[in-house]
Amino acid sequence: DAKTTQPPSMDCAEGRAANLPCNHSTISGNEYVYWYRQIHSQGPQYIIHGLKNNETNEMASLIITEDRKSSTLILPHATLRDTAVYYCIVRVAGSSNTGKLIFGQGTTLQVKP
């Protein structure tokens, strides 16, 4: 699975959009980009994933560059409850894979009032 690079920390004002970047320059054509987050003292929580196209769900939007070498997770209106560590993970998706997640250090997002 390809490696990812994320900034160690970011701040965001409550109510504003939080844009979390991730570099995955060695991503392969069959690798998906996943985002999970971990709120303090809880297990990680799935947010969103994508292959090539931009994706949106009730939690966030995922923007993947055309060359797929980087992506941005967007929380449109950050709240204090979005304060967490955000992990960008690249992995192959297929029936022959175990589906294990390889976590990096992630980005600690601090949402401030």
The helix/strand count (H/E) of the chain reads as: 0, 9
Strand partners, 99: none
Query: Whole-number minimum distance, CB 106 to another protein, in Å?
Result: 6
Q: Which helix (H) or strand (E) holds 20?
A: strand 18-23
Question: SS3 for 80?
Answer: helix
Is position 13 an interface residue for another protein (rule: CB under 8 A)?
Answer: no
Strand partners, 31: 92
Residue nearer to another protein on the CB measure, 14 or 101: 101
* Region of 16-24, 58-66, 70-78, 88-96 interacting with another protein (CB under 8 A): 88-96
Residue nearer to another protein on the CB measure, 14 or 61: 61
Amino acid at 105: Q
Is position 53 an interface residue for another protein (rule: CB under 8 A)?
Answer: no
Tokens of 106: 């992630």
Q: What are the backbone angles phi and psi of residue 17, rounded to the nearest 5°?
A: -75, 140
Residue nearer to another protein on the CB measure, 15 or 28: 28
Residue nearer to another protein on the CB measure, 7 or 44: 44
For another protein, the binding residues (CB under 8 A) are: 32, 34, 42-46, 49, 85, 87, 91-95, 97-106
